[in-house]
Structure formats: structure tokens, C-alpha cells
A and B are shown apart, each in its own frame.
Chain A
Amino acid sequence: MPAPYLRNLMNPNFSIEQKLVLRALALGAVFFCFSTVLALAQRAAPPSNPAASVGDIAFDPATDRSSFQRCGEGQYDVPQYYQSQTAYTGGTQALRQQFVRAAMPRSTGAQNGYVTIRFLINCHGETDRFRVTQIDAAYQPARFGPALVAALLGRAKALRAWVPGKFTGPDAHHGEALDSYYYLLLKISHGRVVDVLP
């Protein structure tokens, strides 16, 4: 059955003027409802992604190993390295040996800036879900030479001396191993890796 305003619009006893007024009112009502729904939708969906915290890495079957297991899947949100004392044996100095002192291809693309490799370390010190971002010295998106980026990613994936994060709370679980996020920041100057952080 049609809605009342539609029945009125279809009533042959109304004059043309009355039908035009009713049609305008109906269109106004439809527009009001549409704009209200749109406004509510905008309020419900702000620019930030409501599904994830900043830096979360979802599993991607195209790039990630399905055999890699989180220890705390479904039990706790993955902390960041600085919240859980995640470390690499020998610290940044040891990482510098791997990335700065070792032979690496020279960038054929952008010459100055940063390559960031972010990834997940599980409670056993195993790594996966690597994600690479590249910015130039002005912090704008950039593309360094593919051979350099591939070499950096390969080297990051090959690192085996991770000390997994641990629970630092004050109770009986103090010191228990946790999954955590980490990133490696490679500083590029004149096409070469000159520093590594954090």
C-alpha cells in the first residue's frame, strides 16, 4: 500500500497547484531524511579507521605467512615495542652492523629520506607481517631504488636475534613474553643507508 503522501499525490480530486505543493513538501521531507541520515552516517564514520588502532597490521594472505602465529591472538591488543621492552640483541648498534656497515645496493630512485619497515614479533621472537613505507627528506611519499628496498626488507626478515616483548605489569605475570609491534627506520642519504633507528 502506498504511503499517505503518495496516495494524496495520486488523488485525482486535487488541483494542479495543490499537487505541486504536496510534491514539494514530499521532496522536502525526502531531502530532510536523506540529509539527516547522511549527517548521522558522517558522525558515525569519522576520518579515523574505527576498526583499528594506529599502526595495527592485519593479516594479508598475499604477503604474510599463514604459518606465523600470534601467541596472544584474541587475548590482548598487540603492544608497541616501547611498551613491552622488545629489543634486538646488541641493540641499535647490532642493527647498524646489519644495515649500515653491510654492503647494500645504492638507491637508484629517491636519494634522501627514510624507509620504514614495520612488523610483528611474536612471543617466541619470530617475525612476520612486514610493511614498508618510504618518505623523502621532506616527509613526502617517495620511492627509493627497488633493489635497495628489497635488500633492506630481506635483511629485516632475516634478523633472528629478537628479544620478544614482555609483560611489565606488577603482578605474577611480570616478565611473561608478549607479541609486539616493532619498526626499523633506515635513514637514506645520497642513496645510501647511513643510520638505523630506533
Chain B
Amino acid sequence: MMTFWYIFVMAGVTYLIRMIPFSFFTKRIKSVMLRSFLYYIPYAVLAAMTIPAIFYSTGHFLTALGGTIVALVLAYFRLPLIVVALAASGSAFLLSFFV
């Protein structure tokens, strides 16, 4: 029974955090400052989530580093998301046989 309440609270809080701002924030924001801030947020969030966590994502620094470099190069040449992601993982996997 306790498991049910744990999951209920977990899911409920998580949903409300997403739902309240998404549903009731329907006005166009006028402030240039705030609009600019929101414009940069996705890039900032992704960068903060990726660095340095990516270097620990495979359990071995060198395989992760190799995968990261492959991802950076392929992304620079604008390859599709799935190609970049699979190539990064694939090279980390291949590298793991050598390190």
C-alpha cells in the first residue's frame, strides 16, 4: 500500500510541475530580457546536463571521451540526431575492447 502512495506522490508532483506552467502560461511574453532568457534556456540546460556527466556515462573516461569527440565532430557537420547518438555509443563500445 505504501508503494502506491510513494508512486502517487512522485507522479503527482512531477505532473503538476509540468502542467501548471504549461497550461496556464498562455500569454505572449513581452519583456525582451525574459524572452531572451527563455530563448537561451534549452541550450544552457542541455549543456549543463551533458558536461561533465557525459564523461562518466560509460563507466570509463576514455571510452566516453572517444564517444564525445565523435559526437562533436558529427554534430558539427549537422548529421541527424540518431546518427550522432548511435555513432557516439558505437565508438565507445568499440573503444571498450581496447582500454
- Pairing of A with B: no
Interface residues of B (CB under 8 A from A): none
Interface residues of A (CB under 8 A from B): none
